[in-house]
């Protein structure tokens, strides 16, 4: 497995439905929602100027929303992952 460093977050992208119920294909440019994925690794956080550790507030297993353009794509054992700075995660999706 891979471990994130500092305030980095590693996300495995979840598949988005590419086709409507009637069989029409939806292009990537037509989706209004940001991308979604599951966090697989989180670094310990960033250090403030006074040396205090500031954790990210994101946990492994969280489902997050993000803008794919803010990520660095990596591939490990034929699986695609995205690496973000924690500040580029837009939201954490919570079940009610």
More confident residue, 34 or 65: 65
Q: Given this model, what pLDDT does residue 1 score?
A: 76
Which residue segment(s) compose the domain that 30 sits in?
A: 8-93
- Is residue 1 assigned to a domain? no
Q: Given this model, what pLDDT does residue 14 score?
A: 83
Nearest to 40 by CA among 15, 72, 64, 69: 64
**Measured CA distances, 11 to 19, 23, 24, 53 (Å):** 24, 29, 28, 22
pTM comes to 0.79
- Is residue 87 assigned to a domain? yes
**At residue 63, what are phi and psi to the nearest 5 degrees?**
-95, 125
- Is 9:91 a contact under the CB 8 Å cutoff? no
Number of domains comprising the chain = 1
Q: What is the pLDDT of residues 10-42, one digit of tens each?
A: 999 886 656 666 776 666 555 555 689 999 999
- Is residue 50 assigned to a domain? yes
How does strand 35-42 pair with strand 63-66? antiparallel
- Is residue 24 assigned to a domain? yes
């Amino acid at each position: 497995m891979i471990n994130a460093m500092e305030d980095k977050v590693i996300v495995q992208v979840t598949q988005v439905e590419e086709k409507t119920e009637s069989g029409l294909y939806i292009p990537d440019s037509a989706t209004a929602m940001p991308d979604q994925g599951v966090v697989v690794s989180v670094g310990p956080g960033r250090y403030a100027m006074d040396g205090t550790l500031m954790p990210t507030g994101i946990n492994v297993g969280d489902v997050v929303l993000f803008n794919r353009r803010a990520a660095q794509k990596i591939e490990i054992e034929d699986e695609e992952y995205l690496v973000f700075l924690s500040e580029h995660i837009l939201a954490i999706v919570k079940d009610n």
